[in-house]
Chain A
């Protein structure tokens, strides 16, 4: 014990693997069918939204581009609506609103939901209990019902619809965050962080949040499709987008009047909503499988 003992280093070096982790991840991603299909459609929708002014054949709001209620085909691939507007152009521009609604609504839900869930789980006690019971109470009502009430209160326009959809999703995100933080905060690395002098806020933001993020990505991509659907429903009921916005839900709503004479009025936006929602669901499932270690063997 008296002579200084040389420090023996571990001989095993795990630093140099064979395939780089990034390439392994890519390979796993490509092997997941739902991720590839969902991701491609999502990418396609995003591109359509971004390039809408370039790829849309006509001005979506221009009345009398063609004959009223023209049958699909020829010049108008998806036909024209009751004002002679090109439906394809309107569906293309509608992608912009849909993505915008999804992003804003999910953003609002995530920010508040994660903050509330993390605070409740980390603080615990009567404060955390009270917070989560309030969330549970809100969770018992259907999202759309809460959103409806909020829009009625705020006034019917697209911005308020997005806010309402976002707010109504908060309990969902709060509950998921609560569960994740509750299990993470009991892990020894939280104690280890406190031991080197990290404050509570620091522990939550620097140490817990990065661990909460992966499951939240999954929840957010699934929540995105729910938000798109809710917003379309609000617009359909006349509480969201207002005419002449080329918003898919609104297009369905007005096209509904002509459903027997000109069904193509609802087919365009209807299919668009269906495909987009399905794509985000597939994408979310794919990401979940990718992040879930129990599913690894199957995808490997």
Chain B
């Protein structure tokens, strides 16, 4: 893991994070040696299929893993502090004030019986100990920041009175309330329809530009990645297989899995074209190995067309293939 940037350069550094479910011999590793770094003001996208460990990485950073899962190795450094070593009370103080999160489901992520104003001001009241009036004023600013119409009236409304797009704006405002350095956006646009997706992406870009907040974007939607991310980390079966700048990854992917992922993106022009141009959607053969399977080599080897003998025997390390571009593959990223 020598190629991972030093944690000093950035805001967040995840180093060799390993998370397992279950205990003893029945333990199944859901994340293995996950390492990546995120600089201040940068957007890093974590991409991968369902079950590749994207959301689990986010929950590990937040310290909100389900009770069955435990971090068995690694560090999560936020501005130099290891979040995994923090006490529970310290972690409660960190959540919301330094790291915050936006969830996938805006319809159910707001408490149905509390007003928007109360939910927005909650974090402020216990992190900043501000007065009710000051918190309300801040809530109003936040609603304006996220582009809500008629913010005064919104404060008194309940979640069911807002549309999905507006609720996601409220979620983003909640995450921003205490000006955290890092926002983890877990599939922030997945549950929204396409035109609203674009609005939310614009909003996140705008906020990043104005407040300099770093964003860890978790998604399987490569279209969203292309619009938002500065850099991309590709996860496969709980391992990071490739990290590169956004353009570089789209232009010259090195890991065969990344190539497969990019080939599977539907292109409307080719799908509906007449005659010879018309193509079927590419798909990756096989399926992701389950966390219980203990593979000694590269987890992608069984599905990889380029696999050589060494692939199934030994896990390839992350190697630098170009400036700021690392990949773990014996064939494509060989020394």
A interface SS class: loop
The answer to the question of B131 belonging to the interface, with a C-beta cut-off of 8 Å to chain A, is no
User: Out of A9, A15, A189, A213, which one reaches B110, CB within 8 Å?
Assistant: A189
Q: Which of B147, B177, B209 contacts A9 (CB 8 A)?
A: B147
Q: Say which size band chain B's interface belongs to.
A: 35 or more
Is A8 among interface residues, defined by CB-CB distance under 8 A?
yes
Q: Does A195 contact B (CB under 8 A)?
A: yes
Extra A-B contacts (19), CB below 8 Å, given A5-B206, A15-B154, A124-B67: A1-B227, A9-B147, A9-B149, A12-B163, A14-B162, A15-B153, A125-B67, A187-B108, A188-B105, A189-B112, A192-B101, A192-B110, A196-B174, A197-B126, A197-B178, A198-B126, A199-B92, A206-B114, A207-B111
Would you call A192 and B203 a contact (CB within 8 A)?
Answer: no
By CB atoms of chain B within 10 A, which of A4, A7, A198 has the most? Answer: A7
Given A7-B147, A10-B165: A189 in contact with B92 (beta carbons within 8 A): no
Once the chains are docked, how many angstroms separate the CA of A197 from the CA of B63? Answer: 11
Contact pattern, A 12-43, Cβ under 8 Å of B = 1, otherwise 0: 11110000000000000000000000000000
Are A192's CB and B122's CB within 8 A?
no
Would you call B166 and A10 a contact (CB within 8 A)?
yes
Give the Cβ gap from A294 to chain B, nearest Cβ, in Å: 17
Contact with A along B158-193 (1 / 0, CB 8 A): 000111011001010011011000000000000000
Which positions 114-159 of chain B face chain A at CB distance < 8 Å? 114, 122-123, 126-127, 146-150, 153-154, 157
Contact of A7 among B103, B113, B206 (CB under 8 A): B206
Contact B205 A210 (CB under 8 A): no
- Interface: A191 (CB within 8 A): yes
Bound-state CA distance A206–B119 (Å) is 10
B109 contacts the other chain (CB 8 A): yes
Q: Which residues of A contact B174 (CB under 8 A)?
A: 192, 196
B residues within 8 A CB of A242? Answer: none
The CA of A198 and the CA of B154, in the complex, are separated in Å by 23
Give the complex CA separation of A244 and B153 in angstroms: 59
Residues of A within 8 Å of B205, CB to CB, are: 1, 5
Contacts of A125 in B (CB 8 A): 67
Q: Interface on A for B, CB 8 Å cutoff?
A: 1, 4-5, 7-10, 12-15, 124-125, 187-189, 191-199, 202, 206-207, 210-211, 213
| B199 near A14: Cβ-Cβ < 8 Å | no
Name A214's closest neighbour in chain B (CB-CB). Answer: B113
> Which B residue's beta carbon lies closest to that of A208?
B111
Find chain A residues with CB under 8 A from B146 CB.
7
B3 contacts the other chain (CB 8 A): no
Q: How far is the CA of A188 from the CA of B203 in the complex (A)?
A: 22
Taking the nearest CB of chain B, how far is it from the CB of A40, in angstroms? 28
User: Interface 1/0s, chain B 87-100, versus A by CB < 8 A?
Assistant: 00000111111001
CB<8 Å pairs between A and B, sample of 8: A5-B202, A7-B202, A10-B165, A189-B112, A194-B64, A195-B101, A206-B122, A210-B111
CB-CB contacts below 8 Å: B191-216 with A: 196, 199, 202-203, 205-206, 209-210
* B127 near A210: Cβ-Cβ < 8 Å: no
B62 within 8 A of A: yes
CA separation between A81 and B135, bound complex, in Å? 65
- Once A5-B206, A8-B199 are accepted as A-B contacts, the answer to whether A14 and B147 lie under 8 Å apart by CB is no
Question: Residues of B contacting A15 with CB < 8 Å?
Answer: 150, 153-154, 157, 161
A35 to B77 CA separation, bound complex (whole angstroms): 58
CB distance from B43 to the nearest CB of A (A): 11
A5 to chain B: which residues have CB within 8 Å? 202, 205-206
| Residue pair B147, A8 in contact (C-beta under 8 Å) | yes
User: Which B residue's beta carbon lies closest to that of A8?
Assistant: B199
Which B-chain residue is minimally distant from A187 (CB atoms)? B108
Is B149 a contact partner of A13 (Cβ separation < 8 A)?
Answer: yes
Q: What is the chain A residue whose CB lies nearest that of B210?
A: A4
In the complex the two chains form, what is the Cα distance from A198 to B95 in whole Å? 8
A202 touches B162 (CB 8 A): no
B64 proximity list for chain A (CB < 8 A): 191, 194-195
Across the interface, name the chain A residue whose C-beta is closest to B167.
Answer: A10
Instruction: Report chain A residues within 8 Å CB of B206.
Output: 4-5, 7
CB of B206 to closest CB in A, whole Å:
6
Query: Which of these, B108, B161, B199, B210, contacts A188 with CB under 8 Å?
Result: B108
Q: Which residues of B contact A197 (CB under 8 A)?
A: 92-97, 123, 126-127, 178
CB <8 Å contact, A189 and B109: yes
B69-109 Cβ-contact flags toward A at 8 Å (1 or 0) = 00000000000000000000000111111001101110011
User: Which residues on the B side are within 8 Å of A13 (C-beta)?
Assistant: 149-150
State how many angstroms separate the Cβ of A87 from the closest Cβ of chain B: 47
Contact A196 to B108, CB < 8 A, known contacts A9-B148, A12-B163, A13-B149: no
Chain B residues lying within 8 Å of A10, measured Cβ to Cβ, are 149, 163, 165-166, 169, 196, 199
Contact A211 B109 (CB under 8 A): no
Complexed CA–CA distance, A199 and B210 (Å)? 30
Query: Do B111 and A189 touch (CB < 8 A)?
Result: yes
Tell me the complex Cα distance, A225–B150, Å.
47
Inter-chain contacts of A195 with B (CB < 8 A):
62, 64, 95-96, 100-101, 103, 175
Contact B103 A191 (CB under 8 A): yes
A9 to B147, CA, bound (A): 6
| Identity of the chain B residue whose Cβ is nearest the Cβ of A3 in the assembled complex | B209
Least CB distance, A191 to chain B, in whole angstroms: 7
Min CB gap B191→A, angstroms:
11
Closest to B203 in A: A7
The distance in angstroms between the C-alpha atoms of A194 and B113, with both chains bound, is 17
